[in-house]
């Protein structure tokens, strides 16, 4: 199949060897689709179209903007299975997870369609009427990752459109197809230029983020790329929202129900084959329950069915792309040197980027598997004896996106949670998010806020109207 890009309300792009990108199914390493290879000229055209559409869209009554976002949600609901199958082919996750992503995206959009960027009256007396308003910024650039190729873009599209902005989306080069299909399905009712999408081979980021007519960049991805975006955006002082990497710790105290806690942590670590920014990525287990927890996690890992996400019974799909697969393999190799691998490893003898869930014990801070964000199905388990020391250990990381603390004593766990340098800390659960919950990162894990009222308002500019009476 060949899926065209959307610029200024027109589906454009030619299918040829020189002008298209091959999209690989990670379950069999075969080409499943092709999309146009965007150029700098395409970026310019998309930004120009978004800029042209902005005044009329900003003046569109809020109720109509909300209705259009709701209609996008309707399209997702009506085409969920078709789109989910498409997503599994390009992303790799099991069909049930793809269906879940479609449902989550629909739910987020319906939530956004109830919101309004509200101002407030600052002063109203005999001398002055001073009103603080929230007005749209203009053209927003949304740069999106491959782990959630539909949900994350609509985290950006929903707030941008409701607040009166227009948007240019640059999807991941390895997972653009499903999103492009959704835009095609919505093109008959979304005004021309309000939403645009230009795929690339990771070579057009700077052209978009440095573009003088882009007012804001919303990026989800690696910390290193986030730093490059900050640099390229500086020349025009763009607004930035950067949701970056994480190395999310789980601290497990000795009083837990080990079996139940292992199940919850395992689920939080290995959803989407571990390719989740806020997934549990390192476990710190108290010495009294260390062996038992390691063994329970290993049992759960052995029970996972790793296969093509479209095959019935598959509970984990492949790593999404070859480059990430190589990184994961390198970490598995270093883990065997630094610790003891209890389960899993690279699946051999078949096509596809498959890795059985890996549980590694007897590792420590300073090992690559503990210090680096693996973004794959590997989970290191570190032993600790002092609660005070373990808090210092987890805070040494340059990241601070998510964390969790596990104990039957919720009050004690909450006190520990308050000392962890992380944007979100869960107590006795993990990886719980929602459109009403702020998502922000400490340190190298990000800048600004996604989701919630605070994240919604980042798509607006404060304007003060001060009227002398």
Catalytically annotated residues = 243, 277
| HSE-up of residue 439 (Cα within 13 Å, Cβ side) | 23
| CA dist list (Å): 428 to 34, 252, 309 | 44, 9, 30
Assigned token pair, 20: 């298209």
Q: Are strands 10-12 and 5-7 parallel, antiparallel or unpaired?
A: antiparallel
Assigned token pair, 462: 């404060």
State the first-to-last Cα distance of the chain, in angstroms, to the nearest integer.
64
Please give the backbone phi and psi of residue 317, each rounded to the nearest 5 degrees, phi first.
-95, -170
Q: Residue 198 and residue 272: Cα distance in Å, rounded?
A: 25
- 437 within 8 A of 452, measured Cβ to Cβ: yes
Q: Name residue, tokens 């080069």.
A: 173
Q: Name residue, tokens 């978009």.
A: 208
- 150 within 8 A of 179, measured Cβ to Cβ: yes
| CA dist list (Å): 151 to 33, 240, 383 | 20, 19, 36
Calculate the dihedral angle through the C-alpha atoms of 65, 66, 69, 74, rounding to the nearest 10 degrees: -130
Which residues, 6+ apart, have CB-to-CB distance to 422 below 8 Å? 248, 400, 401, 402, 403, 441, 442, 445
**CA gyration radius for the chain?**
23
Burial 127-149 (b: 16+ CB within 10 A, else e): eeebeeebebbbbbbbbbbbbbb
Q: Residue 114 and residue 456: Cα distance in Å, rounded?
A: 12
Assigned token pair, 246: 């994480």
Question: Which spans in 92-200 are helix H?
Answer: 95-112, 151-162, 177-186
| CA proximity to 298, closest of 243, 339, 254 | 339
Q: Residue 67 and residue 226: Cα distance in Å, rounded?
A: 33
Q: Is 14 exposed, middle or buried (0-12, 13-18, 19+ CB in 10 A)?
A: exposed
């Amino acid at each position: 199949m060949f899926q065209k890009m959307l610029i200024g309300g027109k589906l454009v792009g030619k299918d040829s060897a020189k002008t298209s990108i091959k999209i690989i199914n990670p379950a069999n390493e075969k080409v499943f689709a092709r999309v146009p290879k965007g150029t700098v000229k395409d970026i310019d055209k998309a930004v120009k179209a978004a800029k042209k559409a902005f005044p009329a869209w900003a003046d569109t009554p809020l109720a109509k903007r909300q209705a259009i976002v709701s209609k996008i949600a309707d399209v997702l609901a009506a085409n969920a299975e078709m789109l989910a199958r498409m997503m599994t082919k390009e992303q790799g996750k099991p069909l049930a997870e793809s269906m879940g992503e479609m449902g989550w995206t629909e739910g987020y959009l319906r939530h956004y369609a109830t919101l309004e960027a509200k101002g407030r009256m600052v002063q109203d007396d005999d001398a002055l009427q001073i009103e603080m308003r929230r007005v749209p910024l203009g053209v927003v650039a949304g740069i999106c990752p491959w782990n959630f190729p539909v949900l994350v873009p609509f985290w950006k599209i929903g707030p941008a459109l409701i607040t009166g902005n227009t948007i240019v989306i640059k999807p991941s080069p390895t997972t653009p197809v499903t999103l492009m299909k959704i835009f095609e399905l919505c093109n008959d009712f979304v005004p021309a230029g309000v939403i645009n999408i230009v795929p690339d081979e990771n070579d057009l980021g700077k052209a978009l983020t440095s573009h003088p007519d882009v007012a804001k960049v919303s990026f989800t991805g690696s910390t290193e790329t986030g730093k490059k975006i900050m640099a390229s955006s500086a020349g025009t002082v763009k607004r930035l929202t950067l949701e970056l990497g994480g190395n999310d710790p789980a601290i497990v105290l000795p009083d837990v129900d080990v079996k139940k806690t292992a199940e919850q942590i395992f689920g939080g670590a290995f959803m989407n084959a571990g390719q989740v920014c806020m997934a549990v990525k390192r476990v710190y287990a108290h010495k009294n329950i260390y062996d038992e927890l390691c063994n329970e996690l290993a049992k759960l890992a052995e029970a996972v069915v790793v296969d093509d996400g479209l095959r019935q019974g598959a509970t984990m799909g492949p790593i999404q792309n070859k480059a990430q697969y190589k990184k994961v393999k390198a970490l598995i190799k270093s883990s065997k040197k630094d610790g003891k691998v209890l389960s899993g490893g690279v699946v051999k003898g078949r096509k596809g980027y498959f890795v059985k869930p890996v549980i590694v014990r007897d590792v420590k801070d300073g090992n690559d598997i503990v210090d680096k964000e693996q973004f794959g199905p590997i989970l290191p388990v570190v032993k600790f004896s002092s609660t005070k020391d373990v808090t210092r250990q987890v805070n040494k990381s340059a990241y601070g996106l998510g964390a969790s603390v596990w104990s039957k004593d919720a009050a004690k766990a909450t006190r520990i949670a308050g000392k962890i340098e992380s944007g979100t800390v869960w107590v006795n659960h993990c990886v719980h998010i929602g459109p009403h919950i702020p998502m922000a990162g400490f340190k190298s894990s990000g800048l600004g806020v996604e989701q919630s009222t605070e994240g919604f308002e980042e798509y607006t500019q404060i304007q003060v109207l001060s009227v002398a009476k």
